Structure 1
Amino acid sequence: MWPPDPEPDPDPEPAGRSQPSAALPGLRALLPARAFLCSLKGRLLLAETGLSFIIFVCYVASSASAFLTAPLLEFLLALCFLFADAMQLNDKWQGLCWPMMDFLRCVTAALIYFAISITAVAKYPDGASKAAGVFGFFATIVFAIDFYLIFNDVAKFLKQEDSAHETTADKAEEENSDSDSD
């Protein structure tokens, strides 16, 4: 008999434990990705990616095919940001301003989806255009929630940085001042 029957595993893993196999060390690199995908930001990026793909497919099947470029670009950008955030590339590449790029991506996507969804629902009579418009409104809401959360994070960061800058400026001013009060 070829191939020979595999020998039974002498120490099988108990049910419910899922650890990456030693034979597949690359799976250990995906563990941070799993934790990210369970976070709110990860879920928002997954929703943005999925909605953008669904809207793209709807526009391909509709008579409003002039609008299919925007969902395709948003799908690719959301996929890139999903990959970058899941693999923690934003921590490795410090030269890029990741929060600002993500904020601008979300703001422009929300505005573009809102505009093309209104046009698709109002101007084109076929069902695929209407479906793309409805999904576009959902995508507008998801992107708006994402840019609101990003804006709050950036505002908190800037407030912390500004207060740290003020304390160092106050210390420098106290050191430079003439304090001859004798």
Structure 2
Amino acid sequence: MESSDNTQGCVGQCTSFLRTPKGIVLALEIGLCIVILICYGASVRPGYTGLAIFEMVFSIAFFIVFTLGLNKQLAFVHWGWSDFLRAVIAALLFLITSLIVVIGHSDGPATAAGVFGLLAAILFAYDAYITFPSLRRSHTAAPTESPEGA
């Protein structure tokens, strides 16, 4: 009986996090990475799947951390900056990789993956954009008085 309460609690946490803007963005990132993987899998040259796998795994990890509230319990990592850097790096890498694929390949599924990659770059950039204000709020100014109090 106790395990069903824990399961309901976990499902409840997940659905409540999915209703937040951050939860929606992370779920869309995971879904878009899956679509990109499917397109690259159908392509003649599936050489660009590593980025989609890597970012999907990191998005799932951050989704779990934020859903379970581990970002408040594990304070040795600054989760806001980690999430911001993950999103910025993913946006840049998806932009570069997708432009290479769209410009250089005539394969239909690879071109579709490139277009979805450009959408992923926009989504990851938006994720960084909505994460940045929370980083500015969490910064506290250093005291300007001398330690002696004189």
TM-score (norm 1): 0.76
Matched, 1:25 2:11: no
The answer to whether residue 108 in structure 2 is matched with residue 133 in structure 1 is: no
Q: Which has the larger radius of gyration?
A: 1
Q: Which residue of 1 aligns with 2:90?
A: 109
1:151 maps to: 132
1:42 paired to 2:17? no
Correspondence for 1:69: 50
Deviation by residue 1:98-149 (Cα, 9 ceiling, x = unmatched):
1111111101110110011111111111110111011011101110011011
1:47-126 to 2 correspondence within 5 Å? 47-126=28-107
| Whole-angstrom CA distance in 1 between matches of 2:93 and 2:15 | 30
Partner of 2:30, secondary structure, is helix
* Higher relative contact order, chain-length normalized (CA < 8 Å, sep 6+): 2
Distance in 1 (alpha carbons) for counterparts of 2:55 and 2:28: 12
C-alpha distance in 2 between matches for 1:68 and 1:113: 11
Q: Quick one: percent identity of the two aligned structures?
A: 30
What amino acid maps onto 1:107 in structure 2? V
**Letter paired with 2:80:** P
- Could you tell me whether the CA contact under 8 Å between 1:107 and 1:147 is conserved in 2? yes
Instruction: Return the structure number with greater helix share.
Output: 2
Gaps of 5+ in 2: none
Q: TM-score, normalised by structure 2?
A: 0.91
Partner of 1:170: 145
Task: Quickly say closer, same or farther: Cα 1:91–1:133, change in 2 above 3 A.
Answer: same
Unaligned runs of 5+ residues in structure 1 are: 1-20, 177-182
